Amino acid sequence: MPKQTFLNLPETKRKAFLDAAIEEFAGRDYASASISHIVAQLGIAKGSVYQYFEDKRDLYLYLIDLASRERIMFVQSAGPPDSQKGFFIYTQWLLEMGARFGFEHPRLNQIIYRAMFGDAPFRDDMLRQMKESSLGLIRQIIMQGIAAGEINPDLDLDMTAYLLNLITNEFGNYLVSKLAIDPQRLIEGDYAQLDIEATRGIFTKAAEFMWHGLAKRSSSIVETPSSVRN
């Protein structure tokens, strides 16, 4: 969707442009995000943007695409845990990866979040498609879990997938508020403040909730380990 001109651009220029654009679209919803801001920030002419992209929408969709690909790469590059360990561990890992991506790429994460739950005027385009693909993946995982006899087969598949998707997408936000993390410092790459190890307990608790729900369990019956570390 970017024009050839954009792809021909020297790397530094292209990076700088993307950086500013990501910053803008992460920080404001589609209606408020402004091409004028971006060019002012970069000190380039407005016309340049229209040499690179068809229009605002085109740029936006490209950023969504980029962020999604980045996220998929991020998750895939950190290999999933051994499937032998069961789906509890897998759930925990999924949560952790979601949150970790949010910490390491807060702006990309924000763009994805806005695309999923905000309202750009393109709900029907590739947006729903993205949502669907994300849901599809989770649905698949749940089905495997059911097949493996670990997941309650009485659960409504669609609903459960929806709720899991919701939780994995929102969980980072909870962490940010819980740990009193300054989002601005996160965005500036200053996440030295974050100790992933120290927060692992929270992932375990979240996975625990997703896995066993609210109900008090009689202590003797534990089907899935909740005291696992890594």
Partner DNA sequence: CAGTCACATGACTGACCAGTCACATTGTAT
Partner DNA sequence: ATACAATGTGACTGGTCAGTCATGTGACTG
SS3 181: coil
Residue 108 beta carbon to a copy of itself: minimum distance, rounded to whole angstroms: 17
By beta-carbon proximity to DNA, the closer residue of 57 and 200 is 57
Residue 106 beta carbon to a copy of itself: minimum distance, rounded to whole angstroms: 15
By the rule CB under 7 A, 9 interacts with DNA: yes
Cβ density class 9-41: b for 16+ within 10 Å, e for less:
beeeeeebbbebbbbbbbbeebeebebebbbee
By the rule CB under 7 A, 15 interacts with DNA: no
If contact means CB under 5 to 8 A according to the sort of partner, which of a copy of itself, DNA, none does residue 202 touch?
a copy of itself
Q: Which two tokens stand for residue 144?
A: 């495997």
If contact means CB under 5 to 8 A according to the sort of partner, which of a copy of itself, DNA, none does residue 210 touch?
a copy of itself
Query: What DSSP string runs through 49-79?
Result: HHHH-SSHHHHHHHHHHHHHHHHHHHHHHSP
Spatial CA neighbour of 153 closest among 164, 162, 142? 142
Spatial CA neighbour of 160 closest among 210, 90, 204? 210
Interface residues toward a copy of itself, by CB under 8 A: 28-29, 31-32, 87-88, 91, 117-119, 142, 145, 149-156, 158-160, 162-163, 166-167, 170, 174, 178, 202, 205-206, 208-218, 221, 223-224, 226
Compute how many residues bind DNA; rule: CB under 7 A: 21
Residue 39 beta carbon to a copy of itself: minimum distance, rounded to whole angstroms: 20
By the rule CB under 7 A, 34 interacts with DNA: yes
By beta-carbon proximity to DNA, the closer residue of 29 and 188 is 29
Q: What is the DSSP letter of 81?
A: P
SS3 170: helix
Residue 5 beta carbon to DNA: minimum distance, rounded to whole angstroms: 4
Residue 125 beta carbon to DNA: minimum distance, rounded to whole angstroms: 15
What distance in Å separates the CA atoms of residue 78 and residue 192, rounded to the nearest whole number? 20
Residue 186 beta carbon to DNA: minimum distance, rounded to whole angstroms: 24
If contact means CB under 5 to 8 A according to the sort of partner, which of DNA, a copy of itself, none does residue 83 touch?
none
What distance in Å separates the CA atoms of residue 31 and residue 218, rounded to the nearest whole number? 52
Residues 6+ apart with CB under 8 A from 23: 41, 107, 187
If contact means CB under 5 to 8 A according to the sort of partner, which of DNA, a copy of itself, none does residue 9 touch?
DNA
Binding site for DNA (CB under 7 A): 4-5, 8-9, 13, 33-37, 44-48, 50-52, 55-57
